[in-house]
Structure 1
Amino acid sequence: MSRALGVIAGAAVLAGLVLVGLGVFPVDLSPAAPVPSPVPETLAVSLPPSPQASPSPSESPRPAPPVLRLSGPVPTKGSGSFEYAATGGPVRGRSGTLLRYQVAVERGAGEDAAAFGAAVDGALGHAQSWTAGGLRMQWVPRGTPYDFTVHLATRETAGRLCGAGGVDITVRGRPYTSCRIGGSVIINLDRWRLSVDHFVAAKVPLARYRDYVINHEVGHQLGHRHELCPRRGRPAPVMMQQTLDLKGCTANPWPFLNGRRYAGPLK
């Protein structure tokens, strides 16, 4: 071997020893195996309750729709005799003449005299009723002095009593409206339970019609005549024949509005 070749061979051996001493090892250059992605942790999620299963506390329940008329058959004829309420109520109104009235329900009408009396007392004792105009009224039990009587009668009896007093309450051949004769206010049971079609179509509650018919017929007892609608869109005067038609006015059961007597042109 020549001296040059020996030097080269020795250098190669020395380089190999140095590489080994430095910890340099042969590298595997084949493609690396893919590293799996970390598995995400499962999160506990609290879902809100279904609106159908649990309504929001801020939501208030919907009010029940008003009663427009009562269901079920209405007796058309009773015994012709009346049961009088044995109870009464306080004096309604602050000053003026005191008028006392008693209430009576026809036997066979299916109505309670005390309950009817309470409805009459509520209507006449309202702050916008006749007692707002310098007049006092009181519901009194039978056996107590009284000025007039409010009767609830089946339509056949109402037609007979009103006709005997000279008032025709028939519409299309059937006793339909109510009336006042002498010292008696006669409320037709059909209207008391069913109201009238145009009130029902306008969604006027039955209780409002009852307030109207009581104040209207008692208005006759007080000497008031029928009145007309003053102008389309205005409240109907209580002495207007609202049972027959509103003539463009809106239903109104009270003789006083905004603290003043409300009336229309005389019919």
Structure 2
Amino acid sequence: MSVPAPAPRPKKGGKGRVVTGVLALAVTTVLAVVIGGQVAGGGDTSRNGATGQTDDRGQTDGGTTSRSEDGRGAPGAPEKAAPSYAQQMSEVLPLEPDFKGKGTFTAVKGEERGAEGGGEVLRYRVDVEKGLPLASGLFAKAVHKTLNDERSWAHDGERSFERVDGKEADFVITLASSPTTDVWCAKSGLDTSQERVSCDSASTDRIMINGYRWAQGAKTFGDHRMYSYRQMLINHEVGHRIGLNHVGCSKDGALAPVMMQQTKTVTTDGATCKPNAWPFPKG
């Protein structure tokens, strides 16, 4: 019995392997095309949605705009704190000396009680000239806080200053431009035009605070004492309203009396005083 001859073994590199290699190459090529299309098109459209939306890195199409560039800030960045009252009162503000408002006034809305235990109660209203680019709310707050301070005319419970917004006010503290201040001060025979100062227009119900001085201050105090200067303006003019007159510097190096014309000078007959905002600086 004869034994059949064994079947021939396939040669290396035959047709089977060639077909398998071709299929693998085709699959690889298709995957490369798909992935390349996604990269060129900006990534997974199911995440980004329509063109222009941001992805999870805070970038729009093409990756050119960040959160900080479009005004929203970096994720988790703290918001900038609003300036404090003291910071606002210390800031020098831009205002031209001859800036002219509209000549009419708006009463600052709201009412505030005066200092507790005050003796004589004085009711005042705060008006601000229309068109004047100064914060009416800050001015009203400054007036009330200053007048009811223990270092001011409310000292030792002698007075209390209550803010109202109606016609029942005993007087009106008015923030106005220089030209309008001049008009109202002239009603009481006072010339404020030369040095752009403030006044108590005694023949009217208005105390006029010159907006230029409120914004820019005076050389006697300097920019670094704006807070104190604004307190002095309020205390000085209200001092006139309650019956006090001007006084000078009595001793070199002493604190200036609040009723001294400190916007103009802190020197009298060779004696130079230190700028001072308060009638009772020790409280």
TM-score tier, shorter chain, comes to 0.5 to 0.7
**CA distance in 2: counterparts of 1:197 and 1:107, whole angstroms:** 28
Q: TM-score, normalised to structure 1's length? A: 0.66
2:164 corresponding residue in structure 1: 140
Name the residue aligned to 1:107: 130
Note the C-alpha offset of 1:72: 5.6
In the TM superposition, residue 93 of structure 1 has moved relative to its aligned partner by: 4.9
Between 1:69-78 and 1:212-221, the stretch displaced more is 69-78
Q: Is the 8 A contact 1:83 1:113 kept in 2?
A: no
Q: 1:224 to 1:101 in 2, by over 3 A?
A: same
Residue by residue over 1:187-238, the C-alpha shift from the partner in whole angstroms, topping out at 9 and shown as x without a partner, is 00110000012211xx542111000010000000000000111201000000
Cα separation, 1, equivalents of 2:207 and 2:261:
15
Secondary structure of the corresponding residue to residue 198 of structure 1: coil
Cα distance in 2, alignment partners of residues 155 and 136 from structure 1: 29
The separation in 1 between residues aligned to 2:212 and 2:141, in whole angstroms, is 19
Aligned equivalent of 1:76: 99
Paired residue for 2:210? 188
Deviations 1:229-257 (A, max 9, x none): 12010000000000100111011111113
Listed one character per residue, the Cα deviations across residues 109-135 of structure 1 (whole Å, up to 9, x for unaligned) are 112333211111111111100000411
Equivalent residue runs for 1:125-136 within 5 Å? 125-133=148-156, 134-136=158-160
* Secondary structure, aligned partner of 2:93: coil
Moved over 3 A (4+): 71-75
Taking structure 2 as the reference length, what is the TM-score of the superposition?
0.63
RMSD value, Cα: 1.9
| Match of residue 170, structure 1, among 182, 193, 207 | 193
Runs of 5+ unmatched residues, structure 2: 1-86
User: Counterpart in 2 of 1:89?
Assistant: 112
Q: 1:257: which partner in 2?
A: 281
Q: In the alignment, does 2:175 pair up with 1:155?
A: no
Residue number in structure 1 paired with 2:265 = 245
C-alpha separation between the residues in 2 aligned to 1:242 and 1:165?
Answer: 21
Q: Specify which structure has the higher proportion of helix.
A: 2
Report percent identity of matched pairs. Answer: 33
| CA deviation map 1:68-88 (0-9, x unaligned) | 622464671011000101112
Unmatched 5+ stretches in structure 1: 1-63, 260-267
**Residue 256 (structure 2) aligns with:** 236
Equivalent of 2:232, from 191, 205, 212? Answer: 212
Structure 1 residues 217 and 81, CA gap change in structure 2 (3 angstroms):
same
Aligned partners of 1:168, 1:74: CA distance in 2, in Å? 16
State the Cα deviation string for residues 169-203 of structure 1 (Å, max 9, x = none). Answer: 132xxx51000013210000110000012211xx5
Q: Distance in 1 between matches of 2:102 and 2:201?
A: 20
